[in-house]
Amino acid sequence: MPKPRKIRQRAANRRGERVKILISGGRIQRRIQAIAKQIRRDFPDEPLHLVSVLKGGVFFLTDLARSIAGEVSFDFIAVSSYGKATRSSGQVRLTRDLDSSIEGKTVILVEDILDTGMTLQYLLKLFQQRKPKHLRVAVLLDKPERRVAPVRADYLGFSIPNEFVVGYGLDYAERYRNLPYVGVLSLDSKLAKKAAEK
């Protein structure tokens, strides 16, 4: 059996793509433990309802849910942006709604990354209309330089520079979500072109 590290390297080298580790799996897990404690301190006696945005936020949600003591439930929502070009215009569309009502619940919206802020701005507005008891935002990563919408996270894993990252839920063309760490993706354009021609 090949060692897991080898499999990972091979996956990362596909089509001239390189992934350089930015935040190790260990650091991510330690930070999540701390965030879980912080959330419980803020809401010591309340059932917490975690809502994650598919698909990127799922890894963060499941690790976070396992680290929070007491009563926790969760649900999922999915959105899509109208293509990259229109992203900054705030065109976010709901593609999958929640299974259950959030009225009167203490809701933590769990996202992989806060980039322009358009997605969270849309979701916060939508959720606020549904009258939760409390509404908070937890994001694993934040790229403050890219912010367009005035959204801030109540709970934050790591602030990162303006680079395209993959792993721990984050994808490039649906790949790399399964990496246990977060890495910066770089493309060797010549190699990537060659692979695409094959």
Residues labelled as active-site residues: 115
CA angle 125–173–127, rounded 5-degree value:
10
- Assess contact for 91 and 82: CB atoms under 8 A: yes
- Assess contact for 59 and 177: CB atoms under 8 A: yes
Report the amino acid identity of residue 27.
R
With binding defined as CB under 6 A, does residue 114 bind ligand IMP? yes
Q: Which range of residues in 30-38, 42-50, 109-117, 125-133 is near ligand IMP by CB under 6 A?
A: 109-117
Contacts with Mg ion, 56-95, as mask; x by CB under 5 A: x---------------------------------------
Contacts with ligand IMP, 54-73, as mask; x by CB under 6 A: --x-----------------
Q: Which range of residues in 22-30, 40-48, 68-76, 105-113 is near ligand IMP by CB under 6 A?
A: 105-113
State the number of binding residues for ligand IMP (CB under 6 A).
14
Among 50, 107, 118, 123, binds ligand IMP (CB under 6 A): 118
For residue 47, what are its two tokens? Answer: 């059932």
With binding defined as CB under 6 A, does residue 142 bind ligand IMP? no
CB of 41 to ligand IMP, least distance (A): 27
Nearer to ligand IMP, 43 or 149 (CB): 149
102 Cβ contact list (under 8 Å, min separation 6)? 49, 51, 75, 127, 130, 131, 132
The b/e string for 119-135 (b: 16+ C-beta within 10 A; e otherwise) is bbbbbbebbeeeebeeb
Partner in contact with 118, chosen from Mg ion, ligand IMP, none, beta carbon below 5 to 8 Å by kind: ligand IMP
Q: 89: number of CA atoms within 13 Å, CB side?
A: 8
CB of 63 to ligand IMP, least distance (A): 17
With binding defined as CB under 6 A, does residue 170 bind ligand IMP? yes
Angstrom distance (rounded) from CA 23 to CA 102? 33
With binding defined as CB under 5 A, does residue 167 bind Mg ion? no
Q: Give the three-class secondary structure for 5.
A: helix
Angstrom distance (rounded) from CA 132 to CA 71? 17
With binding defined as CB under 6 A, does residue 179 bind ligand IMP? no
Residues in contact with Mg ion by the rule CB under 5 A: 56
